[in-house]
Chain A
Amino acid sequence: MADKAILFDATRCTACRGCQVACKQWNTNDEVIPQQQDGVKEVNTGSYENPADLSPQTWIKTTFREIERNGKVRFLFNRRSCMHCTDAACVKVCPNHSVYHNEDGAVSYDKDTCTGCGYCVACPFDVPRFTKNGLTGVFTKMDKCTLCTTPGLNRIAEGMEPACVKSCPTDALLFGDRDELVKLGRKRVDDLKVKGFTNAYFYGDKELGGLHVMYVLDEAPEVYGLPKDPKVPPAAIAWQDVIQPMGWAVGGLTLVGLGLNYIVAREAKITRELPGKKEE
């Protein structure tokens, strides 16, 4: 099946935050005041942003940035949520495959089997958020955007758009086949360049094997707070591709070695004791 994706056009966003509300409503994420204990920033300063950070109950938020261009202030809006990467660090490190790519190419997760181990902090976009057990202080479950494919709340399977896209009054958010949205996004960025936005950038086309949330930007990605060249952290690769196989190899070889030793040493002991002298 063709991969689905979201196209966000920053030049069309009015920062109404309808997407934030629609997301909470559809995914039954009650509004809560962000708590430090949930590992999120709770204080907001000098910005219209609200809430201050993503949280287990806030899977999408609109970010605000003020920059100066040609002596004038520009107010830039961006959409912050899971990027649904093709080379997803969270999928790579999840010890029991609770985080996975679904058939639409989105990164979904099985909350029942999530162990809360937190290895998915490997995310280069700092997206996963965790709930903490107040009694034991142990982090229990991870939460993030699933591109509205959460089992039981799967809008995509019912032929609908994600809640955030549905709510967008200016069509700054579009949902559809990824290939078509890539074509559209490239065209819009080309148009922006013609109009004089020389730093215009189409983000998500190639990053991390292709994101399933792509951005039409009229400035460079860094200006919008997006990492220029996101990478799966080396530590995440080392854990999955080096440590795991090494563990099996070392453990297996040790057991085989001990087994061989037993056979050889037993034989040697019997041979040595043959002449009739008995130990003890």
Chain B
Amino acid sequence: MAYQEVEKYSKPVRVLHWFNTASFLLLFITGLILFIPPLAIAAQDSWTRLIHRIAAVLLVAAPVIFALIYPGKAARALKEAFTWGSGDLDWLKAAPAYYFLADESAMPPQGHMNTGQKMWWFLTVVFGVVFVATGAVMWFARDTIAPTGFLWAIFTHDVAFIVTGAMLFVHLYLSVAHPLMRPLRTGSWSAMTRGTVSAEYARAHHARWFEEITAATHAQAAAANREKVLVGSHGGKTG
């Protein structure tokens, strides 16, 4: 079979991903500055806190605008984050053998996102809400809320920061640095940059999804064929 590619992420999704990457990294760095006492000197005169707020607005605005333009895509993506089954447990059991020992044998077939990707996407959604809620308290309610409320908002914001920060390292590592993710041009790096993965990769790593899309294509082809046959037979009768 010739080398073929299938689309994994459409262009709007990719644009949103890289937009969020940029704003999250800005937020990450300007937030980290307050976390490391020797670096906090860089925050003087509050300019990093201003950048933090601008980036926060972008981080919130991008998915909202995306959801307004592509409500269908947004709904499907959200549904994916909250759809879990026993297969995900099997993946978690098989993951150590795969990611440490390159042993794929126990890996159950995966959908459009594998369980690990889905966990990251789930965390992004949940902690995104936590970040925005606590951040809004720290930004807008500082005058009005009791100091304890402000302090607990900081606390929660920081817990979210630690969890997502650590997971960001894992995400970066698994998408570009893990030995099994190479060569980059066939797998998830390609999926998020060019939008496509090789058909071979899709079949090996996202078997359930590959089946779905090929089944759809086959059904289309079959329907087209049936149409042709019907048209042909009809034409035959009248002819």
Contacts and interface: CB of A to CB of B under 8 A. Distances in A.
A96 B35 contact: no
A181 interface: no
A126 B150 CA distance: 13
Contacts of B102: 265, 268-269, 271-272
A246 B170 CA distance: 17
Interface in B98-144: 99-103, 138, 142-143
A261 B147 contact: no
A116 to B, nearest CB: 5
Given A138-B50, A258-B169, A262-B179, A115 B151 contact: no
B50 A243 contact: no
Contacts of B103: 268
Nearest to A130: B142
A169 interface: no
B101 A264 contact: yes
A245 B177 CA distance: 27
A63 to B, nearest CB: 20
Contact of A258 (B35, B46, B173): B173
A274 B183 CA distance: 17
Contacts of A236: 151
A140 B179 contact: no
Contacts of A233: 147-148, 151
A115 B155 contact: no
A82 to B, nearest CB: 16
A239 B100 contact: no
Interface string B23-60: 00000000000110111110111101110010000000
A contact face: mostly helix, strand, loop, or mixed: helix
Nearest to B101: A268
A236 B34 CA distance: 15
B46 A133 contact: yes
B152 interface: yes
B183 A280 contact: yes
A247 to B, nearest CB: 5
Interface stretch (B9-17, B77-85, B158-166, B218-226): B158-166
B35 A244 contact: yes
Nearest to B200: A280
Interface string A103-133: 0000000001111111101110010000001
Given A118-B150, A233-B147, A96 B162 contact: no
B59 to A, nearest CB: 17
A271 B183 CA distance: 17
Given A119-B151, A138-B49, A239 B158 contact: yes
A133 B49 CA distance: 12
A95 interface: yes
Most chain A beta-carbon contacts within 10 A, residue among B151, B177, B186: B151
A262 B181 CA distance: 11
B104 to A, nearest CB: 10
Interface stretch (A19-27, A160-168, A207-215, A249-257): A249-257
B154 interface: yes
B183 to A, nearest CB: 7
A268 B180 CA distance: 10
Contact of A39 (B143, B169, B186): B143
A112 B148 CA distance: 27
A113 B150 contact: no
A122 B151 contact: yes
B37 A269 contact: no
A265 B155 contact: no
A138 B46 contact: yes
B151 A239 contact: yes
A43 interface: no
A121 B40 contact: no
A123 B147 CA distance: 9
Nearest to A128: B147
B154 A239 contact: yes
B197 to A, nearest CB: 14
B93 interface: no
A93 B186 CA distance: 48
Interface of A: 39, 93, 95-97, 112-119, 121-123, 126, 133, 136, 138-140, 233, 235-236, 238-239, 243-244, 246-247, 250-251, 254-255, 258, 261-262, 264-266, 268-269, 271-272, 279-280
15 contacts: A96-B34, A96-B38, A96-B39, A115-B40, A115-B46, A116-B46, A122-B151, A239-B151, A243-B155, A243-B158, A251-B166, A258-B170, A265-B99, A265-B100, A268-B102
Given A96-B44, A133-B46, A254-B166, 7 more contacts: A95-B43, A115-B40, A118-B142, A123-B147, A235-B155, A250-B163, A272-B102
